[in-house]
Structure 1
Amino acid sequence: MSARFITLGLLALLALVQAELWLGKNGLPRVMELQSRLDDQQARNQDARLRNDRLAAEVRDLKEGLEMVEEKARLELGMVKPDEIFVQVMPR
């Protein structure tokens, strides 16, 4: 008789632990929410990594060669060399 009560008690404790695992505060729904947030953050980190790589390549180009500096000056600032005539063709 006492073995039967022990078995029933252990089964009740097992059911309680399982219920806490599946439905509790830190159970499966919380784990799924955190996994979703982790996936979103990893995607943002990957985007930032790509942007940083592009910026690092641009900085490296600016440090290594004057061609990039000249190109930036011409395109972004509209600068011209001495004795150079700037001609702009407008599309119709």
Structure 2
Amino acid sequence: MKFLAVGMLVLLAVLQYRLWLGDGGMREVARLRAEIAQQEVENTALRERNRTLAAEVQDLKKGTVAIEERARTDLGMVGQSETFYQVVTPREVVRTPESVAEAQKQH
């Protein structure tokens, strides 16, 4: 009878080990659930990106406003009745003692 009880305890320990720590055990299930949650977040972001891109493609196919905007921003194009102005900020002049002396000689 003692051997049977010891055998049952050993069997219970082996089964508990496999349940908690073995392949397909609770630890692996928790890890897989975390991976699934992370993948669902990534999939949601990618679905939103795909929806935005699909709307942009549809707009480019049907509308001229989006095409003109793309031409302006990406290609730097200007419309026929428009005038392009480019504002250039002057570079700061570095004054060295030699340039100051030369400027005083010229005046």
Q: TM-score, normalised by structure 1?
A: 0.75
Deviations, residues 21-58 of structure 1 (Å, cap 9, x unaligned): 11212201111111111111111111111110110111
The percent of aligned pairs where both chains have the same amino acid is: 46
- Rounded to whole Å, the distance in 2 between the matches of 1:23 and 1:81 is 69
Larger radius of gyration: 2
**Cα RMSD for the two superposed structures:** 2.4
In structure 2, list runs of 5 or more residues that go unmatched. Answer: 91-107
- In the alignment, what sits opposite 2:19? 21
- Rounded to whole Å, the distance in 1 between the matches of 2:15 and 2:80 is 81
Higher helix share goes to which structure?
1
Runs of 4+ off more than 2 Å: 8-19, 88-92
Distance 1:60 1:91, change over 3 A: farther
In structure 1, list runs of 5 or more residues that go unmatched. Answer: none
- Rounded to whole Å, the distance in 2 between the matches of 1:48 and 1:80 is 34
Q: TM-score, normalised by structure 2?
A: 0.66
